[in-house]
């Protein structure tokens, strides 16, 4: 499966604000790298956009990961599906942020979208017999069933899970459990997109074309 992924483009901007020269920036990057958790087995040689999700755990759950479980790399079959996920989580962030109280306020963020190939031992929830549980796999807020599936999949050596997108129906997503399933060491077709999010609407626009997507909440 060829998949898209989007990440917020902030790391370089954030660190350059702290230094006055290229040498200082390189020294700071080296210090930051030394403070990070070690890369898990299987991440050797992968670009940081591909390896980073496996490097960290989080106290916050995701669709296929319980709190503090090993990281998962998520991707989608289309740009629209990636933008839909971005829009959903940007909106959730605004609703949970007391400082962004008025509809006229909002967030403007830059995102990098890119592609890679996923291949390996897979579990496909959209095919029999797994499609019989579609209502459980596509629930908008209850992730307990998909988290249980992922935990059991790891036991049986499943490297990634193909599933239906909840935020962009009709498309598919990939939950990559093992970095070995990422078959290109470098991401490709990298694009820059701008996300404008308020409490009532999220618009995601391609930086160098007229392509855009909009969601009303």
pLDDT per position in the chain (217 positions), as tens? 999 999 998 655 667 778 888 888 888 878 877 788 888 999 999 999 999 999 999 999 999 999 999 999 999 999 999 999 999 999 999 988 877 756 566 889 999 999 999 999 999 999 999 999 999 999 999 999 999 999 999 999 999 999 999 999 999 999 999 999 998 889 999 999 999 999 899 999 999 898 999 999 8
3-state helix, strand, coil in the chain (%, to 5): 30, 30, 40
> Strand, coil or helix: what is 202?
strand
Query: What DSSP designation does 85 have?
Result: H
Whether the model pTM is above 0.85 = yes
Distance CA 76, CA 36 (A): 27
Q: Which of 213, 155, 192 is nearest to 6 (CA)?
A: 192
Distance CA 182, CA 174 (A): 11
Distance CA 9, CA 110 (A): 5
> Strand, coil or helix: what is 69?
coil
Give the bridge partners for 215, in sequence order.
Answer: 202
Q: What is the pLDDT of residues 11-24, one digit of tens each?
A: 556 677 788 888 88
β pairing state of 107-117 and 188-197: antiparallel
Query: Given this model, what pLDDT does residue 102 score?
Result: 63
β pairing state of 212-216 and 160-164: unpaired
């Amino acid at each position: 499966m060829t998949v898209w992924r989007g990440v917020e483009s902030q790391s370089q901007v954030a660190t350059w604000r702290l230094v006055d020269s290229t040498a200082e920036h390189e020294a700071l990057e080296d210090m930051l790298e030394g403070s990070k958790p070690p890369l898990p087995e299987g991440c050797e040689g992968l670009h940081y956009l591909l390896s980073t999700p496996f490097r960290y755990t989080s106290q916050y759950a995701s669709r296929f990961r319980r709190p503090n479980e090993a990281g998962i790399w998520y991707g989608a079959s289309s740009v629209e599906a990636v933008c839909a996920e971005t829009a959903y989580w940007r909106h959730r962030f605004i609703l949970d942020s007391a400082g962004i109280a008025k509809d006229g306020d909002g967030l403007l963020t830059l995102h990098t979208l890119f592609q890679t190939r996923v291949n390996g031992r897979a579990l496909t929830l959209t095919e029999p017999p797994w499609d019989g549980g579609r209502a459980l796999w596509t629930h908008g807020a209850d992730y307990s069933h998909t988290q249980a599936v992922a935990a059991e999949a790891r036991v049986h050596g499943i490297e990634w899970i193909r599933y239906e997108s909840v935020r962009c129906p009709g498309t598919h997503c990939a939950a990559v459990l093992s970095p070995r399933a990422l078959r290109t060491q470098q991401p490709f077709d990298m694009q820059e997109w701008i996300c404008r999010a308020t409490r009532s609407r999220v618009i995601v626009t391609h930086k160098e074309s007229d392509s855009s997507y909009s969601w009303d909440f």
